[in-house]
Amino acid sequence: MPELSSMPRPEVTADSGKPVLGAIAITRLRESDYRAVVELFRHLGPKYSCDLNDPRTKSTFDLYLADERKHGLVARLGDRIVGVILYEITPVLSIGFSHGRNDGLAVDPEFRGLGIAKLLLRSVLSHCREVGATTYMVKASNPKVISLYRSMPDLVERGIYFYTI
Protein backbone atom coordinates (compact mmCIF):
# COMPACT_ATOMS: atom_id res chain seq x y z
CA MET A 1 0.00 0.00 0.00
CA PRO A 2 1.54 3.32 -0.96
CA GLU A 3 1.71 6.23 1.44
CA LEU A 4 -1.47 8.23 1.12
CA SER A 5 0.59 11.32 0.45
CA SER A 6 1.43 9.75 -2.89
CA MET A 7 -2.24 9.31 -3.75
CA PRO A 8 -4.10 11.92 -5.77
CA ARG A 9 -5.11 14.92 -3.68
CA PRO A 10 -8.86 15.49 -3.52
CA GLU A 11 -8.58 19.02 -4.88
CA VAL A 12 -6.77 17.73 -7.96
CA THR A 13 -8.86 14.71 -8.87
CA ALA A 14 -12.32 15.87 -7.91
CA ASP A 15 -14.91 16.32 -10.64
CA SER A 16 -17.10 18.50 -8.44
CA GLY A 17 -16.26 22.08 -7.57
CA LYS A 18 -18.30 21.91 -4.36
CA PRO A 19 -16.21 23.15 -1.42
CA VAL A 20 -16.84 20.13 0.80
CA LEU A 21 -14.69 17.97 -1.41
CA GLY A 22 -11.55 19.91 -0.54
CA ALA A 23 -12.14 19.08 3.12
CA ILE A 24 -12.39 15.34 2.45
CA ALA A 25 -9.38 13.26 3.43
CA ILE A 26 -8.92 9.81 1.94
CA THR A 27 -7.18 7.59 4.48
CA ARG A 28 -6.62 3.93 5.06
CA LEU A 29 -9.20 1.99 6.99
CA ARG A 30 -8.71 1.96 10.78
CA GLU A 31 -10.00 -0.40 13.44
CA SER A 32 -12.07 2.42 14.93
CA ASP A 33 -13.95 2.74 11.60
CA TYR A 34 -15.80 -0.55 12.22
CA ARG A 35 -19.25 0.79 13.08
CA ALA A 36 -19.27 3.50 10.42
CA VAL A 37 -18.17 1.11 7.68
CA VAL A 38 -20.71 -1.58 8.58
CA GLU A 39 -23.43 1.09 8.62
CA LEU A 40 -22.34 2.53 5.26
CA PHE A 41 -22.31 -0.95 3.73
CA ARG A 42 -26.04 -1.27 4.49
CA HIS A 43 -26.60 1.09 1.57
CA LEU A 44 -25.44 -1.74 -0.70
CA GLY A 45 -28.61 -3.67 0.13
CA PRO A 46 -29.84 -6.45 2.39
CA LYS A 47 -27.03 -8.86 1.50
CA TYR A 48 -24.51 -6.37 2.78
CA SER A 49 -26.40 -5.48 5.94
CA CYS A 50 -24.41 -7.12 8.71
CA ASP A 51 -25.02 -7.31 12.43
CA LEU A 52 -22.40 -5.22 14.22
CA ASN A 53 -22.41 -7.67 17.14
CA ASP A 54 -21.93 -10.79 15.03
CA PRO A 55 -18.30 -11.91 15.45
CA ARG A 56 -18.23 -12.92 11.77
CA THR A 57 -18.82 -9.29 10.79
CA LYS A 58 -15.87 -8.14 12.90
CA SER A 59 -13.56 -10.93 11.77
CA THR A 60 -14.29 -10.16 8.11
CA PHE A 61 -13.77 -6.43 8.72
CA ASP A 62 -10.46 -7.25 10.42
CA LEU A 63 -9.23 -8.94 7.24
CA TYR A 64 -9.26 -5.54 5.56
CA LEU A 65 -6.89 -4.31 8.26
CA ALA A 66 -4.60 -7.30 8.54
CA ASP A 67 -4.63 -9.39 5.36
CA GLU A 68 -1.96 -8.12 2.99
CA ARG A 69 -4.27 -8.60 -0.01
CA LYS A 70 -7.30 -6.81 1.36
CA HIS A 71 -7.53 -3.05 1.67
CA GLY A 72 -9.92 -0.33 2.65
CA LEU A 73 -10.00 3.42 2.16
CA VAL A 74 -12.39 5.82 3.81
CA ALA A 75 -13.40 9.37 3.00
CA ARG A 76 -13.28 11.44 6.19
CA LEU A 77 -14.85 14.81 6.78
CA GLY A 78 -13.45 15.77 10.16
CA ASP A 79 -14.41 12.91 12.49
CA ARG A 80 -17.16 11.70 10.21
CA ILE A 81 -16.76 8.88 7.71
CA VAL A 82 -18.75 9.77 4.62
CA GLY A 83 -17.59 7.06 2.23
CA VAL A 84 -15.80 3.75 2.06
CA ILE A 85 -14.31 1.42 -0.50
CA LEU A 86 -13.10 -2.09 0.27
CA TYR A 87 -11.05 -4.03 -2.27
CA GLU A 88 -8.60 -6.83 -2.82
CA ILE A 89 -5.45 -7.08 -4.92
CA THR A 90 -4.39 -10.65 -5.47
CA PRO A 91 -1.82 -12.44 -7.64
CA VAL A 92 -2.98 -14.87 -10.33
CA LEU A 93 -1.14 -17.78 -11.88
CA SER A 94 0.37 -15.66 -14.61
CA ILE A 95 3.79 -14.26 -13.93
CA GLY A 96 3.67 -10.58 -13.12
CA PHE A 97 -0.10 -10.36 -13.13
CA SER A 98 -2.31 -9.45 -10.23
CA HIS A 99 -5.94 -8.56 -10.17
CA GLY A 100 -7.80 -5.95 -8.19
CA ARG A 101 -11.42 -6.51 -7.23
CA ASN A 102 -13.90 -4.13 -5.76
CA ASP A 103 -15.52 -5.53 -2.60
CA GLY A 104 -17.92 -2.65 -2.05
CA LEU A 105 -18.24 1.11 -2.36
CA ALA A 106 -20.72 3.28 -0.47
CA VAL A 107 -21.16 6.98 0.21
CA ASP A 108 -23.33 8.55 2.90
CA PRO A 109 -26.58 9.71 1.21
CA GLU A 110 -26.07 13.22 2.61
CA PHE A 111 -22.78 13.51 0.71
CA ARG A 112 -23.63 11.97 -2.64
CA GLY A 113 -23.16 13.66 -5.97
CA LEU A 114 -20.03 15.48 -4.82
CA GLY A 115 -17.50 13.19 -6.44
CA ILE A 116 -16.58 11.20 -3.33
CA ALA A 117 -17.12 7.80 -4.98
CA LYS A 118 -14.93 8.79 -7.90
CA LEU A 119 -12.28 10.06 -5.52
CA LEU A 120 -12.25 6.75 -3.65
CA LEU A 121 -12.13 4.77 -6.89
CA ARG A 122 -9.29 6.86 -8.28
CA SER A 123 -7.32 6.40 -5.06
CA VAL A 124 -7.76 2.64 -5.43
CA LEU A 125 -6.74 2.73 -9.10
CA SER A 126 -3.65 4.67 -8.08
CA HIS A 127 -2.81 1.95 -5.55
CA CYS A 128 -3.40 -0.73 -8.21
CA ARG A 129 -1.05 1.01 -10.63
CA GLU A 130 1.64 1.35 -7.96
CA VAL A 131 1.64 -2.37 -7.23
CA GLY A 132 1.35 -3.32 -10.91
CA ALA A 133 -2.17 -4.77 -10.81
CA THR A 134 -3.21 -5.57 -14.35
CA THR A 135 -6.97 -5.23 -13.93
CA TYR A 136 -9.44 -3.82 -11.44
CA MET A 137 -12.85 -5.41 -11.55
CA VAL A 138 -16.01 -3.65 -10.44
CA LYS A 139 -19.45 -5.21 -10.70
CA ALA A 140 -22.63 -3.21 -10.96
CA SER A 141 -26.23 -3.87 -11.91
CA ASN A 142 -27.89 -0.60 -10.85
CA PRO A 143 -28.10 1.56 -14.02
CA LYS A 144 -27.12 4.69 -12.04
CA VAL A 145 -24.05 2.98 -10.67
CA ILE A 146 -23.19 1.67 -14.14
CA SER A 147 -23.40 5.23 -15.47
CA LEU A 148 -21.05 6.36 -12.68
CA TYR A 149 -18.44 3.82 -13.80
CA ARG A 150 -19.03 4.61 -17.48
CA SER A 151 -18.45 8.30 -16.78
CA MET A 152 -14.91 7.59 -15.58
CA PRO A 153 -12.40 7.57 -18.46
CA ASP A 154 -9.93 5.69 -16.25
CA LEU A 155 -12.27 2.66 -16.14
CA VAL A 156 -12.54 0.66 -19.35
CA GLU A 157 -15.62 -1.48 -19.84
CA ARG A 158 -14.74 -5.05 -20.72
CA GLY A 159 -16.52 -8.36 -20.62
CA ILE A 160 -19.70 -9.61 -19.07
CA TYR A 161 -20.33 -11.57 -15.90
CA PHE A 162 -22.65 -14.53 -15.52
CA TYR A 163 -23.93 -15.58 -12.14
CA THR A 164 -24.49 -19.24 -11.42
CA ILE A 165 -25.71 -18.74 -7.86
Residues contributing to the site for ligand COA (CB under 6 A): 43-44, 104-107, 112-118, 140, 142, 144-145, 147-148, 151
Which of 25/132 has CB closer to ligand COA?
A: 25
CB of 43 to ligand COA, least distance (A): 4
Q: What is the DSSP letter of 135?
A: E
| Count of helices and strands (H, E) across the chain | 5, 5
Which of 47/144 has CB closer to ligand COA?
A: 144
- Do 83 and 120 contact (CB within 8 A), yes or no? yes
CB of 144 to ligand COA, least distance (A): 4
Which of 90/147 has CB closer to ligand COA?
A: 147
DSSP 6-37: GSPPHHHH-S---GGGGG-EEEE--GGGHHHH
Which of 34/48 has CB closer to ligand COA?
A: 48
CB of 106 to ligand COA, least distance (A): 4
